[in-house]
Structure 1
Amino acid sequence: MNEHQLKILIVGDAEVGKSSFVRRYVSGHFSPTYKMTMGVDFSVKVLHWSDTEKVRLQLWDIAGQERFISMNRIYYKGASGCVVMFDVTRSSSFLSCHHWKQDLDSKIMLPNGDQIPCILLANKCDLPQRVVSADSIKRFSRDNGFLACMETSVKDNKNIGEAMRRLVQEILSVCSGHEPLRTKGDVDLQRLSEDGSRGGICC
């Protein structure tokens, strides 16, 4: 069986639901309480993509606090795709998505120089206090090069699996052989990995 190894970044402001999203996707569980991510957390999920393909996802849940931003170049290295998440009840977290996308595009790219595939997730859509309109989200996604945008609810398990399936599908479609991803400004492309498996590859 052919196995693809993909490193996926999960970024966005603090408290938008990134850690809860990863936990729901990996284990199927939801908890209303969580411990704030300090730096980066790692999770792994294996997908049986087809009869002949298996996808091993390394999910890097990156802290949204300002004091950790300087480490992002290290965390981004070797990534083949990204989830950019915000909270529909906090307009500031939506505005910050522009910064997160710019930061990604300035620090990492595909071997051909293109942006890595990114999906924009509008989380907590189950809450009635939303302040960001669907039209604003779609316009922002289109204008900033996201492959798609989706409204999600980790609590209700809405669009969690579908969002990741869409992202993985896009990554696999744009991958070119096993050429390592390039991190802008870096010469050494050896990727950090929590389990020591081969890294720096797109698929």
Structure 2
Amino acid sequence: MTRVYYREAVGALVVFDMTRLSTFQAVLKWKGDLDSKVALSNGRPVPAVLLANKCDQRQHGLCPKLPKMENFSREYGFVGWFETSAKDNTNIDAAITCLVKNILSVEEERALSEATSKNEPEGSVLVLPRFDYNVKEKGLGGCSGCSGHKSRDGDND
């Protein structure tokens, strides 16, 4: 992928299809690409969570062929991994929560480091950068599935 897709990223999900070995074999390529094109301000890689998708199709999957995923994910720098099913919504919330907690932890570390260097008292308020979700960037052709999505209670997200 080109650097424009990674610009200002603070975290990532790397997803492979449990029913297709070729997608698992590409995980290290994708993680290497991610790590080579984006890093945190301190030089460390952005937090990345590995998702083994289509766990609802386990009978057709690679389960016996997969390495011990806990060790694999740790060894290759993922902050966690989850068996997921986008179809059944299995572990999607848990995976996103894991990623967001890691992103916030990194931001808190950065803020504390800055506060320490500025001699600010510990426990200061963490101010996250402002982002306008209503502005669409041109040329990024990403998923538009979130725009206009209705939540369960009928409000727009």
TM-score category, normalised to shorter length: 0.5 to 0.7
Q: Does 1:82 align with 2:12?
A: yes
Following superposition, the deviation at residue 135 of structure 1 comes to 4.0
State the one-letter code of the partner of 1:143: E
Report the equivalent of 1:107: 37
State the TM-score, normalizing by the size of structure 1. Answer: 0.52
What residue identity is the alignment partner of 1:112?
N
- CA drift at 1:155: 1.2
Q: How many residues align?
A: 115
> Any stretches of 5+ residues in structure 2 without a counterpart?
112-132, 138-157
Asked if 1:195 corresponds to 2:126, the answer is no
1:99–1:194: structure 2 CA closer, same or farther, 3 Å change rule?
A: farther
Q: Point out which structure has higher relative CO (alpha carbons under 8 A, 6+ apart).
A: 1
Select the residue among 142, 146, 161 that pairs with 2:93: 161
Whether the 8 Å CA contact 1:91–1:132 is kept in 2: the answer is no
Q: Does 1:147 align with 2:87?
A: no
Aligned AA for 2:20?
Answer: R
Task: Provide the residue aligned with 2:47 in structure 1.
Answer: 117
| Structure 1, unpaired ranges of 5+ | 1-68, 178-192, 198-203
State the identity as a percent: 45
Q: Which has the larger radius of gyration?
A: 2
> Which structure has the highest helix share of the two?
2
> How does 1:1-203 map onto structure 2 within 5 Å?
69=1, 72-127=2-57, 128-133=59-64, 135-175=67-107, 176-177=110-111, 195=135
Shift of residue 93 of structure 1?
0.1
Instruction: Give distance in 2, aligned partners of 1:196 and 1:158.
Output: 30
The TM-score normalised by the length of structure 2 is: 0.66
Amino acid at match of 2:47: P
